[in-house]
Chains A and B, each alone.
With several copies, the nearest count.
Chain A
Amino acid sequence: MSELRPNPSAQIAPGRQRELLFQMKRIRHVEEKIAARYHEGKMRCPTHLSIGQEAVASAVGLSLRRDDFAISTHRAHAHYLGKGGNLQAMIAEIYGRATGCSRGRGGSMHLIDLSAGFVGSTAIVGNSIPIGVGLGLSAKLHGTEQISCVFLGDGAIEEGVFYESANFAVVKRLPVLFLCENNFYSVYSPLRVRQPVNRKIHELAGAIGLTVAHGDGNNVESVYQITSVAIERIRNGNGPQFLEYATYRWREHCGPNYDNDIGYRSETEFLEWKARDPILLYENLLLSAGLMSCGDVADMQASIAAEVDEAFEFAESSPFPEASEAVLNVYKL
């Protein structure tokens, strides 16, 4: 199995560093706001938050080109925003409005922004994986330089379709990046009841034939560096790559609350991860390195807050689609 190594010398430009922090803060703020207002009962669809996992989505999004493809899962907000998906259209979609990115048809679990290369997210575990591989096949057939990034979780690894999709991607050397966020849980189920205790997911992926690497999903710079190297390799025609990043979901699997009290995981485990908040870690790093001042951070925060408030106002002030529209788009005419 071939391991791929990040390029340590690669220095990240200061501008990019600020973008990394900005993306993470923006995603966090959006999701905190969703959490805060979810109880109002106006966002009436199952909603899976990525709070705590922002580093991967931000770094991967910034490593990809806008015209690269990305496809995701039920937990797609961060991936969508990281890839450059339209914020207002996402919030409107969660509110079920006509201005939503899927015109209200799909809700939180069905995000799309074709102008940003975000082709879609689905609500069936694993079933967007082959879609992403198919996008990679299309890029190869069209002879473009695009790559296809497939976001998946540690649970999706258990679906046979992951294995089948990865095998085909290797056989055809397709430009596909499999991006696995291992947050150690599938709903309330820890890895040990689902996969062999001593398994390393990236090693399994390597045995299928993918070139693999793994890293700390809460260290945004290392995610950025590892991912950039992988993407470069793919673009240079070295075939599909698999990246596993360890990270942690702070809140309940689906919904806005904390649920460390209900017993499937411990408060201590949560606090250990919270202590490694990818955003705080990075913010402190940039501050101490003198790359940003507290003022810069405050401005960043303020601009984000303003943009997010606007997005929610946009959503809430948007109309619902007409009930009569529900019969449309069964077939493309």
Chain B
Amino acid sequence: MTFVQAINEALHDAMAADPKVICYGLGVDDPKAIFGSTKGLKDRFGPDRVFDMPTSENAMTGIAIGAALNGIRPVMVHQRLDFFLLAMDQLVNNAAKWHYMFGGQRSVPITIRLILGRGWGQGPTHSQSLHAWFSHVPGLKVVMPTTAEDAKGLMLSSIFDPNPVLFFEHRWLHEIAGLVPDGDYRVPIGKARISREGRDLTIVAMSYMVVEAIHAIDYLAQHGISCELLDLRTVAPLDWDAVFASVRKTGRLLVLDTGATTGSVGGEVVARVAMDCWDSLKQVPQRIAMPDHPEPTSFGMTRGLYPRSEDIVTTVNKMLGMNVAIEPLVSQRRHPHDVPGDWFRGPF
């Protein structure tokens, strides 16, 4: 089952389990059904619980909050995170703080799906990964699953969490397939997953960067290098125990991030590890994230823009003083640099 199908299944299961779950957003009931993720929901649960909306991101976020204050569990979706910037007042001044500022009397159980664009001409305003913003705001939870299994389990946990949850979906993950358990299972929010066990170095990553890390790690393994991979799955609250435990074991840290480098969650991870694992660190931690400039649209200009497995290998080489060749890894790649695979033909 693919990542997007897993989300669709989670939405079906949640809405079937609890009549208070509703789902809305631009296009949830249109023929494309948000890349298939909302397929069948309206037919099954009706137009009162599944509906399209006006292009009014700010008010529609506040409306979700208001409904949530009275027991509804809204699941809202934005086809690009970039559109959600219109709703920061509602998110930060209301959703994140309501439970706190009224003395814990009511909480805001909303789930907001944010799809991250990348490549194929998405350009400056259809490609931003601003999880660092949301993790800086007390009261918000931010999940960034990589696998189909985690997508379903975290979607269910998000919908039934009593707090506002931002659910990130990297567009390049939508068609990635994996085994997904049937029925209702919950992947706990705030717990990282050890995706690969290893000795020599800890790689911490989230969302799509986990995929690049896996390519790199499995390749490095062939050369006797053993990396541990921590898939954060949630970046707020972040699973510091898991991060520290792994770094204390390996003594080395490389953090990967889908966002711009400066001020990234990756930076916070490096900082905390430096402060809390100082004595365990055998060498200087490293970070690989997006460059500090907008994503250009041109095919020519995005060449080499995204950190890929070969960049991870190069950094690991530096850190461990090895020099594993990257060419074999690069030459494996069958599709252009600006698409995740043949399944993506644009436009979004």
Contact = CB atoms under 8 A, between A and B. Distances in A.
Q: Do chains A and B touch in the complex (CB under 8 A)?
A: yes
Interface stretch (A54-62, A123-131, A238-246, A296-304): A123-131
B67 A46 contact: no
Interface string B65-86: 1111111100000000011001
Contacts of A189: 26-27, 30, 52
Contacts of B104: 103, 328-329, 332
Q: Report which residue of A128, A171, A326 has the largest number of chain B beta carbons within 10 angstroms of its beta carbon.
A: A326
Interface string A185-226: 011110001110000000000000000000000000000000
A132 interface: yes
A186 B30 CA distance: 11
A168 interface: yes
A139 interface: yes
A272 interface: no
Nearest to B347: A46
Given A105-B100, A120-B98, A332-B163, A323 B301 contact: yes
A278 interface: no
A104 B103 contact: yes
B298 A330 contact: no
Interface string B185-223: 000000000000000000000000000000000000000
A320 to B, nearest CB: 2
B56 A167 contact: yes
A159 B63 CA distance: 15
B51 to A, nearest CB: 7
B297 A161 contact: no
B32 interface: yes
A123 B55 contact: no
Interface stretch (B9-17, B118-126, B225-233, B268-276): B118-126
Contact of A135 (B51, B66, B98, B103): B66
Contacts of B27: 187-189
B55 A165 contact: no
Interface string A155-176: 1101111001101100100000
Interface residues on A, range: 35 or more
A331 B125 contact: no
B99 A331 contact: yes
A253 to B, nearest CB: 9
A331 B109 CA distance: 11
Interface in A84-116: 96-98, 100-110, 112, 114
Nearest to A143: B48
Interface string B48-62: 110111111111111
Contacts of B102: 102, 105-106, 110, 112, 120
Interface string A127-162: 111111111111111100000100000011011110
Contact of A107 (B51, B98, B100, B298): B298
Contacts, number: 283
Contacts of B300: 96-98, 104, 319-323
A255 interface: yes
A141 B67 contact: yes
A292 interface: no
A258 interface: no
Contacts of B332: none
A193 B67 CA distance: 19
Q: Report which residue of A114, A132, A171, A187 has the largest number of chain B beta carbons within 10 angstroms of its beta carbon.
A: A187
B140 to A, nearest CB: 9
Nearest to B49: A141
B22 interface: yes
B62 A129 contact: yes
Contact of B63 (A165, A255, A323, A331): A165
Q: Report which residue of A102, A140, A187, A331 has the largest number of chain B beta carbons within 10 angstroms of its beta carbon.
A: A331
B121 A326 contact: no
A289 interface: no
B53 A194 contact: yes
B125 A124 contact: yes
Q: Report which residue of A102, A156, A319 has the largest number of chain B beta carbons within 10 angstroms of its beta carbon.
A: A102
B283 interface: no
Interface in A35-74: 41, 44-47, 69, 71
Nearest to B119: A44
B209 to A, nearest CB: 19
Interface string B121-164: 11111100000000000110100000000000000000000110
A164 B59 contact: yes
A106 B101 CA distance: 5
B59 A133 contact: yes
Contacts of B101: 102, 105-106, 110
B338 A44 contact: yes
Contact of A329 (B48, B53, B100): B100
Contact of B297 (A104, A112, A134): A104
A320 B301 contact: yes
Given A124-B125, A134-B68, A188-B31, A46 B89 contact: no
A164 B61 CA distance: 11
Contact of B69 (A135, A156, A323): A135
A80 to B, nearest CB: 12
19 contacts: A46-B346, A105-B298, A105-B301, A112-B103, A119-B66, A119-B106, A122-B125, A130-B60, A130-B90, A137-B72, A188-B27, A188-B32, A189-B52, A195-B54, A254-B347, A329-B100, A329-B103, A329-B104, A332-B99
Given A127-B89, A130-B61, A137-B67, 17 more contacts: A44-B346, A45-B297, A100-B103, A102-B103, A108-B121, A137-B66, A137-B72, A140-B48, A141-B20, A142-B70, A148-B66, A160-B58, A161-B89, A165-B63, A193-B51, A320-B301, A331-B237
